[in-house]
Chain A
Amino acid sequence: MKKLFSKSIKRIIEKWAVNEWKVAFSCLIIALALPIVLNTRYLLSVMTICCVNSILAVSLNMLTGYLGITSLGHAAFYGLGAYTAAILGTRFELNIIVTLPAGMIIAGIAAFLLGLAAIRAPSRHLAIITLGFCEIVKIVELNWFSFTGGANGIHSVPRISLLGWDLSGKYAKYYLALFLLILTISTISLIMHSKIGRAIYSIRDNEIAAESMGVNVFSYKLFVFTFSAMFAGLAGAFYAHHFSYVSPLSFTFEQSIVLLSMVILGGIGSMPGTIIGAIILSLLPELLRDFTTWRQVIYGAIIVILMVARPSGMLGKYNFKHIRQQVKYSKLLTKNENKPLEKMTG
């Protein structure tokens, strides 16, 4: 029974891998069409949050899943992006054309400087270094009252508008978030399917061998660290406009842990897995809203149970590209095996 079950799962995964493009395209169509059915302000807002969290999880996966560096400070870059957008939006009344890239750049610069100093440190130290950075950013946000509004945060960040169009409606915000998510996914996928991607994977698997094969480990680590922080900054800048309010408490170390959970739960190093993980962990708190008191306990218990049941996350064991190649190759082999047979009979 159990064998049958795992066999059918394997077949489904194989089908999925072979038709990855079709599946992704169908998902995109569904995501575009969903607002027709789920059209209340609440549901659309939940879906928008799913998109924002997916951007964060996908960018963190690039660092943690592909490169193998565990970061406990992704929320810091998320927060930096949000604060950049909020400050530019409230003080200079700039719109998203400026604030989104600005959020990316500020988060990127911060990550670059932190990485320049610390990225050479061993992985377990990077976990605590990023955690410490996250705490420092939060404390500065809390205490630099004149600039960040302290614990009160920043209110009334301008609504989203673009070239005079008001995009702050419930539908427009969702579609904008979806667009940003697709932008993130495609940029990161394109990079990972190039020589840069190969170099990144090789660093994860064996740093010394990668370095000896001519991969500049330090600059690739710095690049991925900066790049993933930039997308976190993008998500943050969007967040600031979406809620038109930012507060230091949204970007704590606990938030970093939640983001990391999304990546690990979905399957570390798997793009579809990460997105599924992000959606599940974004929906779970909403689904558990009725059990306010028990919510956190159930949430924790679900994480424990899922990790025990599937230690490598939901899709962590499967590399779709490799499965695709293996399926194609085995088909090729069976075809070639048949050929000489035909000759013999003919």
Chain B
Amino acid sequence: MKILDISHLTIRFGGLTAVNDFDMSVSKGEIVGIIGPNGAGKTTVFNMLTGIYTPTSGTIHYRDILLNNRQPHEIAKMGICRTFQNIRLFDKMTVIENVMVASHTRTAERFINILTRSKKMRKTEAAVESNAMTLLELVGLADYRYEYAPSLPYGLQRKLEIARAMAAEPEIILLDEPAAGMNDRETSEMAKFILEIRDMGFTVVLIEHDMRLVMGICDRVYVLNFGSLIAEGCCEDVKTNPAVIEAYLGKEVQLNASTRS
């Protein structure tokens, strides 16, 4: 079942067309990868999906709702939540509080209950906290729960971002380079973890540079270059697609010519 449908998506910043006529669709329970060289416009697609940028033209539909002019917080509430390539954690909050923030849209509290600190409110707070604890245990951060987020090592900060996105209970999780800066072992752990997330019922869209990670776990991949879609399909098809090879390695003829000279 298709839950996310992007068609003819285009955005321009002044004269620069960052994403041009991009089409993509995601079905429930899939892991979809978006790959491409630096500056291909992958993160820009995420920014449009989450409402941070407004597309110049084209449409984004999530379960038949048009997302084009929605605010980021509305989109998060509808069920699309993300992580950031350049980590954006809440620096002066503890690890567990970082995760608890994301439960925001899933709990409703009347103002009077907050001012009286009613039983119901304390119960909800306890539930939010235990939910956050469960997620922290899942990503292996339970021991760090009362540390400040910036004191964590880089890899754990990425995991915390994922835990935070999961706490928002979205249907689709967007992961922006989840394995950036990780070594081989950590990357394969991350791959396993992403599969686990999918098995928990989340649909995953991820941006990644590490080809092995993408090819190992993605059901389908989309390849972007200079803002345009150059290939899509299952991993095997894409790997052998000449346009993709060209985008990543350059034209064969040119490569030979330059090595000879």
Contact residues of A with B, CB < 8 Å?
187, 190-191, 193-196, 198-199, 201-202, 204-206, 208-217, 269, 319, 322, 325-326, 329
Contacts and interface: CB of A to CB of B under 8 A. Distances in A.
Contacts of B186: none
Given A190-B115, A213-B102, A214-B76, A202 B109 contact: no
A280 B104 CA distance: 38
Interface stretch (B35-43, B83-91, B227-235): B83-91
B149 to A, nearest CB: 9
B90 A209 contact: yes
Contact of B104 (A205, A213, A319): A213
Contact of A322 (B94, B105, B125, B164): B94
Nearest to A186: B115
Given A206-B90, A208-B88, A213 B76 contact: yes
A213 B81 contact: yes
Interface string B63-100: 00000000111001100011010001111111001001
26 contacts: A190-B117, A191-B115, A193-B117, A195-B104, A195-B107, A195-B114, A195-B125, A198-B104, A199-B101, A201-B90, A201-B97, A205-B90, A206-B89, A208-B72, A208-B84, A209-B84, A209-B89, A209-B90, A212-B72, A212-B73, A213-B101, A213-B104, A214-B102, A214-B168, A215-B73, A215-B104
B19 interface: no
B50 interface: yes
Nearest to B113: A194
Given A195-B107, A208-B88, A201 B93 contact: yes
Contacts of B84: 208-209, 212
B119 to A, nearest CB: 14
Nearest to A217: B73
Contacts of B6: none
A322 B164 CA distance: 19
Interface residues of B, number: 38
Nearest to A319: B92
A65 to B, nearest CB: 11
Contacts of B61: none
Nearest to B104: A214
B135 to A, nearest CB: 13
Contacts of B92: 201, 204-205, 269, 319
A211 B72 contact: yes
Most chain B beta carbons < 10 A, residue from A187, A209, A212, A214: A212
Given A205-B91, A206-B89, A213 B115 contact: no
Most chain A beta carbons < 10 A, residue from B73, B148, B165: B73
A293 B82 CA distance: 60
A199 B52 CA distance: 18
B114 A190 contact: yes
A196 B114 contact: yes
A99 B122 CA distance: 34
B176 to A, nearest CB: 11
A212 B52 CA distance: 8
Given A202-B90, A202-B101, A322-B146, A208 B52 contact: yes
A195 B113 CA distance: 11
A198 B106 CA distance: 14
Kindly list the 6 A-B residue pairs having the minimum CB-CB distance in the complex, ordered from nearest: A214-B76, A214-B105, A205-B90, A209-B88, A194-B114, A211-B72
Given A199-B104, A213-B168, A216-B71, A191 B97 contact: no
Nearest to B116: A190
B198 interface: no
Most chain A beta carbons < 10 A, residue from B104, B145, B168: B104
B101 A326 contact: no
Contacts of A206: 88-91
Contacts of A212: 50, 52, 72-73, 76, 81-82, 84
Interface string B158-171: 00000011001000
Nearest to A211: B72
B214 interface: no
B238 interface: no
A207 to B, nearest CB: 9
Given A206-B91, A212-B50, A198 B100 contact: yes
Nearest to B103: A195
A325 B89 CA distance: 20
B32 interface: no
A211 B115 contact: no
B128 interface: yes
Nearest to A213: B102
Given A195-B109, A213-B102, A329 B114 contact: no
A215 B102 CA distance: 8
Contacts of A191: 114-115
A194 B145 contact: no
